[in-house]
Structure 1
Amino acid sequence: MRERLPGLFAAVLAVAAVAGCSSGSSSEPAAGKTLITVADLPPTTQQNVRQQFLDQVAAFEKDNPGIDIEPRESKWEAKIFAARLAGGQLETVFQVPLTEPVGMVKRRQVADITGEVEKLPHATEFDKRALAPATDQAGRIYGLPTSEFALGLVYNRELFGKAGLDVDKPPETWEEVRAAASAITKKTGVPGFAVPATNNTGGWIFTAMTYTFGGRLQQEAGGKAVATFDTEPARGVLGLLKAMRWEDDSMGTQHLRNAADLAKDFAAGKVAMMIATPSSYTEFATQFGGTPEVFGMAALPSGGTPATLLGGKVAVVSPKATAAERAAAVKWIDFYHLKPKYDPQFAASVAAAKAADQVPIGFPYVSLYGETVAKPVIEAERKHANVPVANFRPYETGVAAQEFVTEPAVAGQDTYAALDTAVQAILTRRDADPAGELRKAEEKAAAALDRAQR
């Protein structure tokens, strides 16, 4: 799934990808200059955002007079990527989902930028978990993360208190989630826990839960990704949901919601716990009218493996880029995407602007850097915090010890769609068999995986 950053200012800073390559450039560079193209220029219908993006391009060119940037409106599209690459139309730098680099590296569709990355500020202080999706087994780097998020457990502190639970010690395991959900439902009548089950969001959350049991939904066989749904970890997840739904009666009666529907119900106090990202606080407080003090956040509970689903985007460079273009492209990635994450002064200015626009600031996020770099940036940002920072501490403590596992790399949305049906069956039919539902979902996903890899 994709995370949406809130507000205009966030859109300016999170505008995706950088790109540039002589093979896809429509202009000739000035004498003695290197020309690169930059993808994801906002369209003319978003004139303010577009102008701010162009202002950043101008600022970069002023700081780097030997580089010219040609912005483009093109965006990542998996279906036409190979054709654009073969036809020389691909930008030198472009942004892709976190799931993509592994396959792209194997197919030699992105450039090795290890040498350029090693020259960046704080290059040795990246969080290795953040770099992992674009790093091969030999340690070579093929992309730089621009934004990442990790799922966790969101909970209603007020309902926890009414049920006699410690609001500062949320569940750390799924058995504890089950016990807390049961207690909340018995004491308040409110469903203690809920998961979405439609629009691919059921499969998304199911995948994250499976990771915490040590499972994976895809494996490689014969050089291709294959669906592996009917496994002990996956059956464990469906078994847990079935027990909470039919034995404990702690999940309510509405089971055909998507993630947005569930977030709205959570903000209204109609659900006590759900799985979401820290940034879900933005919709909770600004769109759905939730009470800030009620919002609590913990790390994703463990089913035996401390892990969580990691999503986000990575900036990568075209394999057709020259050495000079690669160097220029990585400089742009650093300027536009990374500096706000390692420069405390710049981060503070960003946070102040967001706070002035009443955009929530101060909730945790996955830093791309280790604590030495990340801590001063976070401290600078939190001087402008307008969220209940203390309510997120269980999440920050727990996620620091978790393994980050990326989303399924091939036909991810089709995988989630197939798993939606398994989640729906378990929550709506008492006689649904976890193993049987997983086998049926696996058959659906297998066909999609086959089509995607032809």
Structure 2
Amino acid sequence: MRARWVRIVACGVAGVLVPALSACSSAEPADSSVTITVADLPPTTQAKSRQQFLDQVAAFERDNPKIKIKPTDSQWEAKTFAARLAGGQLETVFIVPLTEPPGLIKRRQVADITDETRSLPHADKFEERALKPGTGTDGRIYGLPTSEWALGLIYNRQLFTKAGLDPDKPPKTWDEVRVAAKAIFAKTGIPGYAQPTTNNTGGWTLTAMTYTHGGRAEKEVDGKQVAAFNDGPARRTLEWLKATRWEDNSIGRQHLRNGADVLKDFSAGRIGMTIATPSTYGDHITKYNGDPAMFGVTALPSGGTSATLLGGKMAVVSPKASTAERAAAVKWIDFRYLRPKYDAAAAEERAKANAADDIPVGVPAVPFYQPDVVDPVLKVEHRHANVPLNNFKSYTTGVASQDFVAEPPIAGQDIYAALDVAVQAVLTRKDADPAAELRNAEEKVVPILERAQR
């Protein structure tokens, strides 16, 4: 898909905003100093990453002597975020998952940073799909990406070879996944595919698969989000899972596992394929001692629609921030999170440091910018890559043309929990009815969504 810059509306043209959110309030003296708080400092248990963050704070302050940064190790937590927000305890810059910006924007709980964003390098070259989660319905910008990923299909290249499949031509559709799973099981006796089902990972992956069939987990009706998964796309996904289990017998008999359990078995060579992100390569080699050569990843297969689930995090700014604080906040977001995505020198410096610390370098991620900005960055990163780049080629090619669909914006985890049960049912009970299981899940979710939007 050809990327386009999201329309940025000048002050006075966009709709009326409350003063706390306006990016157009009176400016403070240009020579005044400002102090801002920023979240996301890694914990003391991650000593190298924490020191790297603090080193960047020091470098930023040297480059911007009138800005003082006070970092905190606060992380987003679903159970405490709302209370901290209501109590005014959040940092000037805080990091939230992509499920949060739509609601925060709608409730006017984050600052409009459109004008500050316009002054950033390559502001007209943002990749629309990456910027969209932080863009309001008014076309203005309320959040900037810090990390984004798109779900794909990881597969065991060695099992593909043993099954007579070409590891450089992984499946592009769910029908092809089913064929490959049967071949792997027939030739090796190893389950060709695995689906996580517990700890909300069943509903999460079912949602992603539903996107590939053109469906959604939620939709907006009369200004509110309502359940939308009790329809054809989700049903077809459950029917596919049921068929691979009971007709093909190609996905094994152990079906009460979460994503980490499945990845552990994948790294041990006990699974042929599963849904995951390219970043799981890190755990594959460091946590589970997997063979780098066996790890392959491709774009999420199509069920008729070329789409995948987009996840990750965004940096947003407190609505209480003054004009000077807002400007300083966006400068920090750019320095810390965006610059390595467009500045080849900064990208190379970080790649060298990560390679020296045995952190994977070269694993693909969702680009924040258009190709003419991204390509020079990728070139220097690949120069210091310590991963098998060829094994990621199919993913990079496939994801470039996919639609990115965000996670459900309201009560997403509750939806995933309800759908866990549906996935478990079709994989553990031969007589389970996909349509009935979706109706049951909807009955659980409807009151939760209503309560969340009162």
Normalised to the residue count of structure 1, the TM-score between the two structures is 0.90
Structure 1, unaligned runs of 5 or more: 1-20, 22-28
5 Å matches for 1:94-243?
A: 94-243=94-243
Code of the residue aligned with 1:375 in structure 2: it is D
- Give the distance between the partners of 2:87 and 2:272, measured in 1 at CA: 52
Code of the residue aligned with 2:263 in structure 1: it is A
Q: For this pair of structures, how many residues does the alignment match?
A: 427
Q: State whether structure 2 residue 399 is matched by structure 1 residue 385.
A: no
SS in 1 for 2:137: coil
SS in 1 for 2:141: coil
Give 1:407 deviation, angstroms.
0.8
Give 1:172 deviation, angstroms.
0.4
Q: Is the 8 A contact 1:364 1:396 kept in 2?
A: yes
Code of the residue aligned with 2:270 in structure 1: it is K
- Give the distance between the partners of 1:45 and 1:391, measured in 2 at CA: 31
Give 1:283 deviation, angstroms.
1.4
Code of the residue aligned with 2:411 in structure 1: it is A
1:342 match: 342
Code of the residue aligned with 1:223 in structure 2: it is G
- Give the distance between the partners of 1:86 and 1:253, measured in 2 at CA: 47
- Give the distance between the partners of 2:318 and 2:232, measured in 1 at CA: 40
5 Å matches for 1:15-54?
A: 32-43=32-43, 49-54=49-54
Code of the residue aligned with 1:395 in structure 2: it is Y
1:254 match: 254
CA deviations 1:320-357 (Å, max 9, x no partner) are: 22211111110011111111111111211211222222
- Give the distance between the partners of 2:242 and 2:298, measured in 1 at CA: 23
CA deviations 1:78-116 (Å, max 9, x no partner) are: 455455445443322211111111111111111111111
- Give the distance between the partners of 2:434 and 2:382, measured in 1 at CA: 44
Q: Is the 8 A contact 1:208 1:308 kept in 2?
A: yes
Give 1:32 deviation, angstroms.
2.4
- Give the distance between the partners of 2:46 and 2:279, measured in 1 at CA: 23
Give 1:66 deviation, angstroms.
1.8
CA RMSD of aligned residues (A): 2.0
- Give the distance between the partners of 2:88 and 2:267, measured in 1 at CA: 48
SS in 1 for 2:147: strand
- Give the distance between the partners of 1:177 and 1:381, measured in 2 at CA: 31
CA deviations 1:231-260 (Å, max 9, x no partner) are: 100000001001111111111111111111
CA deviations 1:214-235 (Å, max 9, x no partner) are: 1001112233222222110000
- Give the distance between the partners of 1:372 and 1:192, measured in 2 at CA: 39
Code of the residue aligned with 2:246 in structure 1: it is W
Q: State whether structure 2 residue 317 is matched by structure 1 residue 324.
A: no
Q: Is the 8 A contact 1:229 1:441 kept in 2?
A: no
5 Å matches for 1:345-356?
A: 345-356=345-356
Q: State whether structure 2 residue 67 is matched by structure 1 residue 67.
A: yes
2:272 match: 272
- Give the distance between the partners of 2:403 and 2:192, measured in 1 at CA: 27
- Give the distance between the partners of 2:320 and 2:273, measured in 1 at CA: 48
Give 1:450 deviation, angstroms.
2.9
- Give the distance between the partners of 1:51 and 1:217, measured in 2 at CA: 40
2:284 match: 284
Give 1:192 deviation, angstroms.
1.0
- Give the distance between the partners of 1:267 and 1:142, measured in 2 at CA: 39
What percent identity do the matched residue pairs reach?
A: 66
- Give the distance between the partners of 1:249 and 1:232, measured in 2 at CA: 24
1:305 match: 305
- Give the distance between the partners of 1:88 and 1:330, measured in 2 at CA: 20
Code of the residue aligned with 1:405 in structure 2: it is V
- Give the 3 Å change call, closer, same or farther, for CA 83–196 of structure 1 in structure 2: closer
Moved more, 309-318 or 70-79: 70-79
Q: Is the 8 A contact 1:229 1:439 kept in 2?
A: no
- Give the distance between the partners of 2:247 and 2:44, measured in 1 at CA: 55
1:417 match: 417
SS in 2 for 1:271: coil
Moved more, 325-334 or 80-89: 80-89
CA deviations 1:97-146 (Å, max 9, x no partner) are: 11111111111111111111011011111110000001123421111000
Code of the residue aligned with 1:150 in structure 2: it is A
Code of the residue aligned with 1:189 in structure 2: it is G
CA deviations 1:349-394 (Å, max 9, x no partner) are: 2112222222222121111111111111111111111111101111
- Give the 3 Å change call, closer, same or farther, for CA 427–172 of structure 1 in structure 2: same
Moved more, 379-388 or 205-214: 379-388
1:295 match: 295
Give 1:72 deviation, angstroms.
3.0
- Give the 3 Å change call, closer, same or farther, for CA 112–268 of structure 1 in structure 2: same
SS in 1 for 2:437: helix
- Give the distance between the partners of 1:186 and 1:307, measured in 2 at CA: 30
- Give the 3 Å change call, closer, same or farther, for CA 90–269 of structure 1 in structure 2: closer
- Give the distance between the partners of 1:88 and 1:361, measured in 2 at CA: 38
- Give the distance between the partners of 2:245 and 2:332, measured in 1 at CA: 50
- Give the 3 Å change call, closer, same or farther, for CA 329–307 of structure 1 in structure 2: same
SS in 1 for 2:270: coil
Code of the residue aligned with 1:129 in structure 2: it is R
Give 1:51 deviation, angstroms.
4.3
- Give the 3 Å change call, closer, same or farther, for CA 45–365 of structure 1 in structure 2: closer
- Give the distance between the partners of 1:79 and 1:328, measured in 2 at CA: 29
Give 1:273 deviation, angstroms.
0.7
1:12 match: none
Code of the residue aligned with 2:192 in structure 1: it is G
Give 1:48 deviation, angstroms.
5.5
- Give the 3 Å change call, closer, same or farther, for CA 279–80 of structure 1 in structure 2: closer
Normalised to the residue count of structure 2, the TM-score between the two structures is 0.90
Give 1:68 deviation, angstroms.
1.9
SS in 2 for 1:314: strand
